[in-house]
């Protein structure tokens, strides 16, 4: 493992949820509308809202993919044209470090990592599955957050910053839940990008109805991390003859080549609907969403501001650079992202222990060729550390 000479902060680590993560603290009377396990044709299946959920091929996570096994595939390299089963090679028994916080701390020491943000694996696919039942979604996510607090903690030993999952499907619930998790020590919360499914239809996350949530986020100085997941954008694929259902690792070249980017549109909505103008201490980080969308967003914001500057309280590109941090994929144009938004807003995220991440998290530094030593320290350490501290 690389010794970088400073405490490394990885902004994208994951746990694999315990099988009762969405059950342990959910009212039994609600579980048939939320999550359940069932044996169907001799196989253990995860039910969400009474339907088999296919977001993750094996939601028991035992066995599980080797960390980083798809590294080269996500760099666009598969010279032998192996199919997905062949690319995964073998599955391993689940490691204790994927489900136990003390085992994870030992693993971090071995990896040369000081602190991490911890995100769900299964959890980021659940909002879309419950979009038609906001009451069940809120019950499920509150129960999940109580499990997360119990098993991982929100700031365990000042090193593991597990992000409770928040949804704006019910604005009053979101405000109450963010109050609760902040009181319990949360320094970052997780949401998936995309329009908010509510009982009245889809809404922008920048809608003023959600100002209670954003106001509490801003007041407390915590970070909202938009992590990739099921944002409901497969409905766009359906219009092109594809499949609406989200399945991790189900490769379809059309999914790769269509232009729809939920994180692009989410940030556009936050900026165009004035969230950072009304809540000047609000901070957003984009995690595992890559950065290829960022230049297009900046171009569009510049054009919109030039066409009608009075539609904004101030320059939206400057707001982006002030309030938003971005964790690029290791295969992205990281130097280009630095030039676009500034070194202070670029984050290191390894996606460990996922198959599409890095087996050796600190090897991310090898993709920072041409960066200065101070820039590398900002990306690999300082910028992430700043996310879990209140802004000055």
Rounded Cα gap, residues 60 and 68, in angstroms: 19
Provide the 10 A C-beta neighbour count for residue 163.
28
Geometric angle at alpha carbon 10, from 6 and 14, rounded to 5°: 150
For residue 291, the model assigns a pLDDT of: 97
For residue 256, the model assigns a pLDDT of: 57
Rounded Cα gap, residues 43 and 79, in angstroms: 34
- Return the sign of the alpha-carbon dihedral for residues 236, 237, 239, 243: negative
**Residues 328 and 346 sit within 8 Å (Cβ to Cβ):** yes
Burial class (CB in 10 A: 0-12, 13-18, 19+), 80: exposed
392 residues of the chain, pLDDT tens digit each: 568 999 999 999 999 999 999 999 999 999 999 999 999 998 999 999 999 999 998 999 999 999 999 999 989 999 999 998 899 989 999 999 999 999 999 999 999 999 999 999 999 999 999 999 999 999 999 999 999 999 999 999 999 999 999 999 999 999 999 999 999 999 999 999 999 999 999 999 999 999 999 999 999 999 999 999 998 886 776 666 655 565 665 655 555 556 678 999 999 999 999 999 999 999 999 999 999 999 999 999 999 999 999 999 999 999 999 999 999 999 999 999 999 999 999 999 999 999 999 999 999 999 999 999 999 999 999 999 999 998 87
Smallest CA-to-CA distance from 182 within 209, 205, 158, 216 is with 216
Rounded Cα gap, residues 84 and 89, in angstroms: 9
Listed in sequence order, the DSSP H helices in 130-230 are: 134-151, 171-183, 211-220
For residue 241, the model assigns a pLDDT of: 63
> Domains in the chain, start-ordered, CATH in brackets?
9-387 (3.20.20.140)
Rounded Cα gap, residues 137 and 121, in angstroms: 17
Rounded Cα gap, residues 117 and 12, in angstroms: 6
**Residues 377 and 6 sit within 8 Å (Cβ to Cβ):** yes
Geometric angle at alpha carbon 136, from 135 and 141, rounded to 5°: 105
Classified as helix, coil or strand, 278 is: helix
Write out the two tokens for 9: 């902060």
Provide the 10 A C-beta neighbour count for residue 353.
26
For residue 232, the model assigns a pLDDT of: 86
Strands 223-227 and 91-92: unpaired
**Residues 177 and 166 sit within 8 Å (Cβ to Cβ):** yes
Q: Which helix (H) or strand (E) holds 73?
A: helix 71-74
Write out the two tokens for 263: 């994180």
For residue 257, the model assigns a pLDDT of: 55
Provide the 10 A C-beta neighbour count for residue 50.
11
For residue 244, the model assigns a pLDDT of: 57
CA distances from 182 to 99, 119, 161, 380 (A): 23, 16, 12, 26
Classified as helix, coil or strand, 186 is: coil
Classified as helix, coil or strand, 95 is: coil
């Amino acid at each position: 493992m690389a010794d970088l000479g400073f405490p490394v902060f990885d902004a994208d680590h994951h746990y694999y949820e315990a099988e009762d993560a969405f059950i342990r603290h959910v009212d039994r009377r609600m579980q048939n509308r939320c999550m359940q396990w069932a044996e169907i044709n001799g196989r253990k299946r995860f039910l969400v809202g009474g339907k088999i959920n296919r977001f993750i091929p094996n939601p028991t996570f035992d066995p599980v993919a080797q960390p980083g096994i798809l590294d080269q595939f996500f760099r666009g390299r598969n010279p032998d044209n192996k199919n997905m089963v062949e690319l995964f090679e073998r599955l391993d028994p689940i490691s204790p470090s994927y489900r136990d916080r003390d085992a994870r701390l030992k693993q971090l020491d071995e990896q040369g990592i000081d602190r991490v943000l911890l995100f769900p694996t299964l959890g980021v696919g659940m909002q879309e599955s419950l979009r038609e039942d906001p009451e069940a979604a809120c019950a499920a996510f509150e129960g999940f957050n109580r499990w997360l607090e119990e098993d991982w903690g929100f700031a365990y030993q000042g090193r593991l910053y597990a992000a409770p999952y928040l949804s704006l499907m019910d604005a009053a619930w979101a405000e109450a839940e963010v109050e609760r998790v902040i009181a319990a020590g949360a320094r970052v919360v997780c949401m998936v990008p995309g329009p908010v499914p509510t009982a009245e239809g889809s809404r922008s996350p920048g809608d003023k109805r959600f100002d209670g949530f954003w106001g509490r986020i801003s007041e407390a100085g915590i970070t909202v991390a938009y992590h990739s997941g099921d944002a409901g954008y497969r409905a766009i694929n359906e219009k092109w003859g594809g499949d609406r259902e989200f399945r991790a690792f189900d490769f379809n070249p059309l999914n790769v080549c269509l232009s729809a980017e939920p994180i692009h549109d989410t940030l556009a909505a936050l900026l165009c609907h004035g969230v950072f103008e009304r809540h000047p201490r609000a901070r957003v980080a984009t995690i595992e969403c890559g950065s290829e969308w960022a230049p297009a967003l900046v171009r569009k914001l510049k054009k919109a501001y030039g066409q009608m500057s009075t539609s904004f309280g101030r320059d939206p590109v400057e707001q982006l650079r002030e309030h938003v941090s971005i964790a690029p994929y290791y295969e992205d144009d990281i130097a280009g992202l630095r030039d676009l938004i500034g070194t202070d807003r670029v984050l290191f995220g390894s996606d460990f222990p996922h198959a599409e991440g890095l087996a050796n998290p600190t090897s991310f530094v090898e993709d920072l060729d041409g960066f200065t030593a101070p820039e590398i320290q900002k990306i690999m350490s300082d910028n992430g550390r700043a996310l879990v501290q209140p802004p000055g």
